[in-house]
Amino acid sequence: MKTAFGIALLLFSFAASAVDPVKPLEDADVDVFDSDSVRRGAGFFANYCMGCHSIKQIRYSRIAKDFELSEDTMRREFMFGKVKVHDYLETAMSKADGESAFGVAPPDLSLVIRARGADWVYSYLKGFYVDPKRPLGTNNLVSPDVAMPNVLWALQGLQEPVIKKIDGTDTVVDVRLVKKGQMSPKEFDQVLTDMVNFLAYVSEPSKLQRLPLGKYVIFFLVVLAVIMYRLKKEYWKKIH
């Protein structure tokens, strides 16, 4: 009885510590094999993010190869300006300009999904809200006092913080849409999914080859196991 009570208490304490008043991260539902989504994500990235952020670990030519895209298609969708196919995804913004404009240089996003996780990046991009106290008039639910401006506000609309008093201090626990953007919340979520899929792909392009290859390897091992089993039976026949 005592043990049961102890276990119940333990479980309860776990549950209690797991309850965070701030909204948990949203599920990004990543799928790097959804090539249409990754392509759209690349387009959004080129239009809305590359002014500040680079992805220095990948070349346009790698994307072309992985998704079987012609140079024309790439130039139409996300390869803008004078860039060449073998270029990396560089931003025109120098580190010094970034620092003087925002206080911190916008980081390279090649590995951001591995460093932060897809759910974090998804929730971060969705978590900007209006905050007149910040220099750029905007703050973020997931990354408080972040230096990045809310670059997607025209699509998303404007969000306001939901504030609750926790242990005597005002804490932002959620955000809510107060002014509609060009897109419905559902359409906007799809934009973020596309962008996160693209960032997840660039963080590990070889996944596209690795996972399908894994299936062949398993298949090979199963076939090998059957052959070995039969062989074993054959050998043991003579010994019995």
Sites of contact with ligand HEC (CB under 6 A): 48-49, 51-53, 102, 104, 106-107, 109, 112, 115-116, 121, 124-125, 146-149, 151-152, 195
* Cβ closest to ligand HEC, residue 48 vs residue 67: 48
Q: Compute the distance between CA of residue 64 and CA of residue 197 in angstroms, rounded to an integer.
A: 16
**CB-nearer residue toward ligand HEC: 21 or 51:** 51
Tokens of 161: 């913080």
Residue at shortest CB range from ligand HEC: 49
**Smallest distance from the beta carbon of 2 to ligand HEC, in angstroms?**
47
Nearest 5 degrees, angle CA 29-CA 21-CA 111? Answer: 35
* Nearest Cα residue to 122 out of 137, 136, 102, 142: 142
Quick one: 147 or 158, whose CB is closer to ligand HEC?
A: 147
Q: Which is nearer to ligand HEC, 47 or 209 (CB)?
A: 47
Longest C-alpha distance within the chain, in Å? 86
Q: The tokens of 64 are what?
A: 């072309």
The residue type found at 70 is S
**Cα distance from N-terminal residue to C-terminal residue, the chain:** 56
144: left (phi over 0), alpha (psi -120 to 50) or beta: beta
Residue placing its CB nearer to ligand HEC in the complex, 81 or 168: 81
